[in-house]
Amino acid sequence: MIAAVHFSERRHAWAVDLGGTNTKLGVVDDSGRVVVQEAFSTRPGRGGDSWAEEAAEALRGAAARGGVEADRIGAVGVGAPGPLNVEGGVLTNPLPNLPGWQGFPICRALANRCGKPAFLDNDANVAALAEHWVGAGRGVDNLVVLTLGTGIGSGIIADGRLLHGMSDNAGELGHLSINYRGPRCVCGNRGCIELYASAPALVRLFKQKLRRRECAARKGRSVTAEAIFEAAREGDPLAREALEEVGRYLGMAVASIVHALNPEIVILAGGLAGAAQFLLDPLREVVRERTYPDLQVGLRIEASTLGAASGLVGAARLALREQSSQRWT
Amino acid sequence: MIAAVHFSERRHAWAVDLGGTNTKLGVVDDSGRVVVQEAFSTRPGRGGDSWAEEAAEALRGAAARGGVEADRIGAVGVGAPGPLNVEGGVLTNPLPNLPGWQGFPICRALANRCGKPAFLDNDANVAALAEHWVGAGRGVDNLVVLTLGTGIGSGIIADGRLLHGMSDNAGELGHLSINYRGPRCVCGNRGCIELYASAPALVRLFKQKLRRRECAARKGRSVTAEAIFEAAREGDPLAREALEEVGRYLGMAVASIVHALNPEIVILAGGLAGAAQFLLDPLREVVRERTYPDLQVGLRIEASTLGAASGLVGAARLALREQSSQRWT
């Protein structure tokens, strides 16, 4: 009986989702269930070591609260803003999110304090792992996750494996240009899809539409992407138009992505995926028009089903996958 | 002594490079050396089986001419126009190159007639295998080969493995759009790089320049891409301008490709690579301007060193790689 109980015990991982503003962390089991989660302010100004101290403390606390013994936790998985070095577990140049953290060996800092190996990947790759594991991309070997927020990132899984590229910078699909004569982007390029279909782009587009209609009553209000989602849900035609336009722009980038990578599913994640109901139809229509029929067979374009949990779930997957040759019983 | 001689004997593969006009084929050894090669007219109108009969006959003849015994040939590798099914060894829809060949089981047809297993991939993927094996991408795990000809194709190797996508259609980078409001492409999209930087695009661009300068003397001449290369080499400023403009357009697509895939090398192959001396500088300049510095570290953009042999060499690689678990002594 005891052996049977041991056999059925789940493995767990510590998961960390590091952002410039908040750090989310928790304990996730090997079915992808978030057992405990909490958050604290990252406060990047204090530097990485002080942050790691607080994170390790919080991870231990989370395990205790979840009733998970430390010896059933195999590793720590971390999703963080790039650019970073996966193999070395180092944040190489995490600007503008974490100024002063260039070169911070986050894996070593956490492993030393937690007594477990730590594994790192960028937040968009971690989101792709989560979708592939227990989300909209479950069981799919070729998928692209677009994280739509302040910027646009992406994680690409091809033939079942995350694409990293030469220096772990693959998947910067926000800097796929849809217009070589378009507006200038911080990356140096022009017309990057990030300039047409991120949260700031949505707000800009909506404001343009407001001005065009001379809707003085609204003009002064501070407009956020969330406020536009809400207005769209309440039936506001301008908000819907703006979201549909963003959906069409996304479709133009997705058409190129589909030709490049021939994925089975493209998943919208991140803040803007909250408005997927308004984005998806125009996006799909553009892809239908602009993609070779052979590449459309079996192709799906869907919203993430994981929402905000995706960062922790994917970080846990990273830890559990990397540790899969070990056993903790 | 006899054992030593056997040990040093090279393995060989039969290689086939199937095009809509000509079929090239030959015997290639496991160092990537083309031992024998020949060619015949494909004549697609007669159908696949008649073609396979001629190809098998020619392969046997090539082995005999090269003094390579059949038992030292492990397999047949085939590069062909897509779309195709790699696993099944079938040309699913090879239009417009091979009308009437839809669904032709080319691997079975060749394997039956040659008495060896046959392996298939599309011509751009085969070119990428060749570059990765013995060309400009030797020893590089992340590379993109752009085949620049009547159209633009590509083969992508990521983390050492060819990308195939869900249905073997990955790598259609010719249909990466650089301008969502650009001219309409056969794929349904607008502004595909193929419309700006293929051989027909070069010819169109050159003719526009001619007209603009009202150079009546030349206007009537039939202009080919090769003629433009030659004129550029002779110092013709219009020809050079046209090629440089094509190079800049290519740079715009390559900037997006680099952000997406973070390759170590991007290799120009196909007919237009013959004019690489005029294309490369403007291409590299645009990529330098339009790509995140992190992604430029270690990045090289080069012309293929294999030329027309790349199809046979890559097809042989396909055969030798797929057969690598077998021994032929």
* pLDDT above 50: residue A177: yes
Please compute the mean of the pLDDT values over residues A194-207 and round it to a whole number: 95
State the average pLDDT over residues A92-114: 94
CA separation for the pair A215, A26 (Å, rounded): 46
pLDDT of A309 above 80: yes
pLDDT of residue A311: 95
> Is the confidence at residue A112, as pLDDT, over 80?
yes
Question: Is the pLDDT assigned to residue B305 strictly greater than 50?
Answer: yes
Cβ <8 Å between A259 and B298: no
- Shortest distance between the Cα of A60 and any Cα of chain B, in A, equals 35
Least confident window among A62-76, A238-252, A293-307, B211-225: B211-225
Q: Residue B206 pLDDT more than 60?
A: yes
**Residues in A 298-317 with any Cβ partner in B closer than 8 A:** 298-299
Task: Tell me the mean pLDDT in the region A260-274.
Answer: 97
pLDDT at A221: 62
Q: Using the CB atoms, write b or e for A36-54: b if 16+ within 10 Å.
A: bbeeeebebeeebeebbeb
- Identify the band that residue B214 occupies on the pLDDT scale cut at 50, 70 and 90: low
Q: Is the pLDDT of residue B157 over 50?
A: yes
CA atoms lying within 13 Å on the CB side of residue A268: 27
Per-residue pLDDT band at B158 (split at 50, 70, 90): very high
Asked if pLDDT for residue A140 goes beyond 70, the answer is yes
Question: What average pLDDT does the segment A224-249 reach?
Answer: 96
Sign of the Cα pseudo-torsion (B254, B260, B265, B269, in order) = negative
| A17, A29, A123, A168: the active-site residue | A123
pLDDT for res B9: 78
Give, in order, the Cα–Cα distances in Å from A14 to each of A78, A156, A307: 9, 24, 19
Are B37 and B312 in contact by the 8 Å Cβ rule? The answer is yes
Longest dimension (CA), chain A: 74
Contact status of A260 with chain B (Cβ, < 8 Å): yes
> Is the predicted pLDDT of residue B285 greater than 80, yes or no?
yes
DSSP for A109-168 reads HHHHHHTS-EEEEEHHHHHHHHHHHHSTTTT-SSEEEEEESSSEEEEEEETTEE---TTS
More confident residue, B260 or B1: B260
Q: Please check the confidence at residue A253 and state whether its pLDDT lies above 90.
A: yes
CA distances from residue B293 to A20, A45, A83, A164, B180 in whole angstroms, order as listed: 22, 25, 11, 17, 26
Give CA–CA dist A94/A104, Å, rounded. 9
Q: Please compute the mean of the pLDDT values over residues A35-43 and round it to a whole number.
A: 97
Walk across the sheet containing A265-269 and list its strands: A161-162, A152-158, A143-148, A265-269, A300-303
- If pLDDT is split at 50, 70 and 90, which confidence band does A96 have? confident
Please say if the pLDDT value at position A255 is more than 90. yes
pLDDT number for residue B123: 95
Q: Are B251 and B287 in contact (CB under 8 A)?
A: yes
User: Is A142 in Cβ contact with B252 (below 8 Å)?
Assistant: no
Q: Phi first, then psi: what are they for A45, rounded to 5°? A: -55, -25
In this structure, the strands spanning A143-148 and A118-122 are unpaired
pLDDT of B287 strictly over 70 = yes
- Looking at residue A213, its pLDDT comes to 72
Distance CA(A172)–CA(A163), nearest Å, equals 11
- Residue A216 predicted with pLDDT over 70: no
- The CA-to-CA distance between both ends of chain B, in Å, stands at 15
Count of other CB atoms within 10 angstroms of residue A70: 14
Rounded mean pLDDT of B205-234? 80
> pLDDT at position A327, please?
31
Is A255 in Cβ contact with B165 (below 8 Å)? no
Q: B7 and chain A: CB distance < 8 Å anywhere?
A: no
Residue A3: pLDDT band (50, 70, 90) is: very low
Q: Which of A154, A169, A173, A284 to mutate against chain B (most B CBs within 10 Å)?
A: A169
Longest dimension (CA), chain B: 74
Closest to A276 (Cα-Cα) out of A301, A313, A310: A301
Q: Round to whole Å and give the CA distance between B290 and B259.
A: 10
Per-residue confidence (pLDDT) for residue B120, from 0 to 100: 98
State yes or no: pLDDT of A214 exceeds 70.
Answer: no
What is the arithmetic mean of pLDDT over A36-52? Answer: 97
Under 8 Å CB pairs connecting chains A and B tally to 172
Concatenate the DSSP letters of all residues of B105-124 into one string. -HHHHHHHHHTS-EEEEEHH
Q: B159 an active-site residue? A: no
Measure CB to CB from residue B170 to each of A167, A261, A290 and give the nearest one. Answer: A261
CB-based contacts of B19, cutoff 8 Å, min separation 6: B42, B81, B97, B123
Nearest residue, CB atoms, A292 vs list B175, B261, B291: B175
What pLDDT is stored for residue B213 in this prediction? Answer: 72
Structural domains in chain A, CATH included, are 2-128+309-322 (3.30.420.40), 139-305 (3.30.420.40)
Task: Record the pTM.
Answer: 0.93
- Phi, then psi, of A240 in degrees rounded to 5: -65, -45
Which of B132, B178, B301 is the best residue to mutate to test the A interface, defined by the most A CB atoms within 10 Å of its own CB?
B178
pLDDT at B96: 83
B297 vs A: CB within 8 A: yes
The total of other beta-carbon atoms located within 10 Å of residue A30's CB is 17
Is the minimum CB–CB distance between B178 and chain A shorter than 8 Å? Answer: yes
Confidence of residue B326 (pLDDT cuts 50, 70, 90): very low
Kindly list the residues from chain A whose CB atom is less than 8 angstroms away from the CB atom of residue B290: 177, 187-190
Grouping H, G, I as helix, E, B as strand and the rest as coil, residue A306 is: coil
Q: What is the ipTM of this complex?
A: 0.92
Mean pLDDT of chain B: 92
> Using CB atoms and an 8 Å cut-off, which of residues 179-208 of chain B contact chain A?
179-181, 187-191
Q: Judge residue B3's burial from the number of C-beta atoms within 10 Å of its C-beta, 0-12 exposed, 13-18 middle, 19 or more buried.
A: exposed
Per-residue pLDDT at B215 exceeds 60: no
Q: Which candidate from A164, A169, A263 shows the least CB-CB separation from B294?
A: A169
Taking only the tens place, the pLDDT of each residue in B77-134 is 999 999 999 999 999 988 888 999 999 999 999 999 999 999 999 999 999 999 999 9
Percent of chain B with pLDDT over 90: 87
Averaged pLDDT, B225-241 = 95
Which pLDDT band, with edges at 50, 70 and 90, does B217 fall under? very low
pLDDT, residue A322, reads: 75
- Scanning every residue of chain B, which has its alpha carbon at the shortest distance from the alpha carbon of A248? B180
DSSP H or E run through A15? strand A12-18
Question: Would you say residue B220 has pLDDT above 80?
Answer: no
d(CA B23, CA B106): 13
